[in-house]
Amino acid sequence: MVRKLLEVLLVNLGMKLADPKIDALIDKKMVNMNFYPTCPNPDLTVGVGRHSDMGTITVLLQDGIGGLYVKIEEDMRFGKKGEWVEIPPTPGALVINVGDMLQVLSNKRYKSAEHRVRTTNTTSRVSIPIFTIPKLTEKIAPLPHLVEKDGIAHYREFMFADYMKNFFGNAHEGKKSLDFAKNVDSS
């Protein structure tokens, strides 16, 4: 399923289905195991602080408890003010997150999803997101034909292992993780 989704997203960016890069982008799976105990005062606790996932795509099986919020980025062209929206808890549904690598490859056409998790005072919760990540030695950069079209590369080239090291070496603060790859010329 992850391969199908990525193929659609990457072919939509002009990549060829036979491109070996697609295999390199879905090289590995990683999982987190999160346990959110019941908290008497959820407003005073952080479940998972705001962050975006570092890989290409994340799959997260939903339960009926809820607590996952996604940030709608401000975009005044479409009258959208930045706000946090709770993903409605639908048991058995899959939430798919776009990760930082898709934002880089697409030269900002796809936006990685900033999200956070709050606890509840009624039920504890376990979540096990599955992250798909590129090969550690894979060189990641905006796709060259998109850079040509846009006249700017919003991100520099880096090795995925270095991105990952930086991601886990720093406290998460929203989408700051992408600063590691930001091109100095990009706004």
Element (H, E) at 117: strand 115-117
Q: Is 53 in the site for Fe ion (CB under 5 A)?
A: yes
Minimum CB distance to Fe ion smaller for 53 or for 138:
53
* Tokens of residue 169, six digits: 């070496």
Minimum CB distance to ligand AKG smaller for 107 or for 127:
127
Residues in 30-49 that interact with ligand AKG by CB under 6 A: 32, 34, 48
Could you give phi then psi for residue 72, rounded to 5 degrees? -85, 115
Pick from 60, 101, 178, 181 the residue near ligand AKG by CB under 6 A.
Answer: 60
Residue with tokens 């599955």: 130
Minimum CB distance to ligand AKG smaller for 107 or for 112:
112
- In the shown chain, the binding pattern of residues 130 to 159 toward Fe ion, with x for contact by CB under 5 A and - for none, equals ------------------------------
DSSP type of residue 10:
H
Residues near 11 by Cβ (< 8 Å), separated by ≥ 6?
17
Q: Concatenated DSSP letters for 25-88?
A: HT-EEEE--EEE---S-GGG--SEEEE--SSSEEEEE--SS--EEEEEPPBGGGTBPPEEEEPP
Minimum CB distance to ligand AKG smaller for 49 or for 82:
49
Separation CA 122–CA 124 (nearest Å): 7
Q: Is 114 in the site for Fe ion (CB under 5 A)?
A: no
Q: How far is the CB of 20 from Fe ion (least distance, A)?
A: 28
Q: How far is the CB of 127 from ligand AKG (least distance, A)?
A: 3
Residues in 108-137 that interact with ligand AKG by CB under 6 A: 115, 117, 127, 129
Question: What residues line the site for ligand AKG (CB under 6 A)?
Answer: 32, 34, 48, 53, 60, 68, 115, 117, 127, 129
